[in-house]
Structure 1
Amino acid sequence: MGTAQGFGYVRRADGTVVITHHGRVAGTLRGGRAAEFLAEIEDDPQLVMARWTGNYRRGNERTASQHPRNRG
């Protein structure tokens, strides 16, 4: 399917869903999890795929790098 922002997914004939990120496999869903993913994908596909693979920013990376404990 679409990979405009890096994520894409392929629905296989056996019901398996393979999620890719920039062409590499980021996750494989089977059975009930695949069905749940396909039901949820209609809202915002990129956000849903990022959330399901755990590959999304939480917004605190810059703040954490500037913390005194992380300055080295």
Structure 2
Amino acid sequence: MPRPSGFSYAQFDDGSVTITHRGRAAGRLRGARARKFLAEAAAAEPQLVMARWTGAYKHGNERAAREHPRNR
């Protein structure tokens, strides 16, 4: 499975975090959720963490895509 890419995040003075994907806003976290995200992103692969937190992670069609003739 290909690794997600193109994610980045910015932390603001009020403690909120905005996650962007290829320059477009994908999510905004505030309070305890933002702190939990920052701790997780520091400890693990940030691209995977951001993909999971924004919901852009394993949509269920990976098996079908793998078996498509174009991907063989």
Return the TM-score normalized by structure 2: 0.75
The structure 1 segments of at least 4 consecutive aligned residues displaced by more than 3 Å after TM superposition are 58-62
Residue of structure 1 in register with 2:28 after alignment = 28
* In 2: Cα distance, 1:63 partner to 1:46 partner: 24
Residue of structure 2 in register with 1:48 after alignment = 49
Letter of the structure 2 residue corresponding to residue 35 of structure 1: R
Tell me the CA shift for residue 59 of structure 1.
5.7
Return the TM-score normalized by structure 1: 0.75
Tell me the CA shift for residue 45 of structure 1.
0.1
Deviations 1:11-58 (A, max 9, x none): 001100000000000000000000000000021000000000001234
* Gapped regions of structure 1 (runs ≥ 5): 67-72
* Gapped regions of structure 2 (runs ≥ 5): 68-72
- Fraction of identical pairs, as percent: 62
Question: What is the number of residues matched between the two proteins?
Answer: 61
| Greater share of residues in helix | 2
Q: Which protein, 1 or 2, shows the higher relative CO under an 8 Å CA cutoff with sep ≥ 6?
A: 2
RMSD: 1.9
